[in-house]
Amino acid sequence: MAKRQVMFTFPQKLIKEPIIYNLGKKFSVITNVRRADVTENKGWVVLELEGEEKDIEQGIKWVTAKGVRVDPVIGDIMQG
C-alpha cells in the first residue's frame, strides 16, 4: 500500500460537498485528516491518503476535475 500527503483547497462552491467521503468510497482510498481549516467562504484540508498507487492517482484526478486544488505536502504535517 502506498501513502501520500496532500493538501486540498476547496473553492466556496464545493465546501459543502462530501468530496473526501466520496474519494474514499469511489476509489478505495483511506483518508486521514491531519489538519484542516474550513469556513463558509473557503476551506483547506491536509490529508494522508493510503491505498493502491493507481487508486490514489485516479482519486486525485477525480478531485481535481471536481475543481479542488491538490498540492503535495512534504514531511509530516503533524510534527511541524
Rounded CA separation 62/56 (Å): 10
Q: For 33-78, what is each residue's pLDDT tens digit? A: 999 999 988 899 999 999 999 999 999 999 999 999 999 998 655 5
Structural domains for the chain: 2-72 (3.30.70.260)
- Beta pairing class for 2-10 and 43-51: antiparallel
What 3-state DSSP class applies to 78? Answer: coil
Q: Are 64 and 6 in contact (CB under 8 A)?
A: no
- pTM, to two decimals: 0.88
Cell representation of residue 53: 498507487
The length of the chain in residues reads: 80
Rounded CA separation 17/1 (Å): 27
- pLDDT greater than 90 at residue 9: yes
